[in-house]
Structure 1
């Protein structure tokens, strides 16, 4: 991490690769944070479950924010 932060308004997609220590954070906390920030798409790559999950259409506010569509 080089300290570079982008405003959420310019981010089109966030990709997270799940590890044993990040499962709850990637599927829960980050999902809500990215939806609240109105990031249009969140891709979760879970090598342990051999699964990729694409979340789109963020809605809601704060910790109640979530994505409407799962693919």
Structure 2
């Protein structure tokens, strides 16, 4: 995977996750443990890693809570 293949996170398109993100998220969800190792730039992690984490934090499809109980 090339980081350049991942588009920048955009709230206008977040409900239409790119195929690369869907594939990565499916792999992450299958994992028991996830290690993130990255260089430090200016006392933080790289922007491409933040972009990936932003994408991974979003649901793959629209949330449907109709089958859930509420209390």
What is the TM-score when the length of structure 1 is the normalising length? 0.26
Determine which structure has the larger helix proportion and give its number.
2
What is the TM-score when the length of structure 2 is the normalising length? 0.26
Higher RCO by CA contacts (8 Å cutoff, separation 6 or greater): 2
Which structure has the larger Rg? 2
Determine which structure has the larger strand proportion and give its number.
1
